[in-house]
Amino acid sequence: MSGPRIGILGGTFDPVHVGHLVAAVNVRHELKLDRVLFVVANEPWQKVGTRPVTPAADRLALVEAALHGYEGLEASSIEIDRGGVSYTADTVAELERLYPGADLHLIIGADVAPALGTWVRLDEVRRAVSLVIVNRPGTRFERPTTDGFPAEWEAQVVEIPALEISSTDLRERAATGRPLDFLVPKDAIRVIRERSLYGE
């Protein structure tokens, strides 16, 4: 019997938004995945130092609230539980231990593809997962022209509805008092308010 089919959507989720959710449900559907794990980065090493990052426990609480009640979508705290800097190589190794025989699919947005070449211990990631790339407005993934994307990697592209939403824009909206409604799931907005995040 083959193991479970698992999608891994890693991110900072600062905050989680419907772009993440739409990507996850569509990839889950297309690839017939049993579940998609939203793996919340503890210390996103490529972001720390460039901007203040919301505490990991708050970002996890937002993801848990957003996913509550959605079958097949789960928040994962494995990077937070591990502590320190979050490397996908460590995460996939841990998921292989947790789900023996699992078919792991790493889901990234097209904006992340060009940066893949900079990832730590990329070979280990490549051995462990199949790569899935979703389109994202403002970026284009095209082979072989996407600089920085390792030429030898196979990737499946899944087309999803183009949603021009980013956490960066949402933090800016919140800071300037504009609404997050319908861009961030209602339950996550409630947590943002309860915890006074993003100046709300």
Shortest Å distance, C-beta 164 to ligand ATP:
7
Cβ nearer to ligand ATP, comparing 52 with 101: 52
Shortest Å distance, C-beta 103 to ligand ATP:
19
What amino acid is encoded at 36 in this protein? Answer: V
Shortest Å distance, C-beta 100 to ligand ATP:
26
Q: What is the DSSP letter of 181?
A: B
CB burial string 44-72: b at 16+ within 10 A, e below: beeeeeeeebbebebbbbbbbbbbeeeee
Cα-Cα-Cα-Cα dihedral of 91, 92, 97, 98, to 10°? 70
Cβ nearer to ligand ATP, comparing 11 with 185: 11
Residue nearest to ligand ATP (CB): 109
Q: In what order do the strands lie in the sheet with 103-109?
A: 73-76, 35-40, 5-11, 103-109, 130-134, 155-158
Cβ nearer to ligand ATP, comparing 5 with 20: 20
Shortest Å distance, C-beta 5 to ligand ATP:
19
Task: Name the site residues for ligand ATP (rule: CB under 6 A).
Answer: 9, 11-14, 19-20, 23, 108-109, 111-112, 134, 136, 163, 165-168
Cβ nearer to ligand ATP, comparing 3 with 140: 140
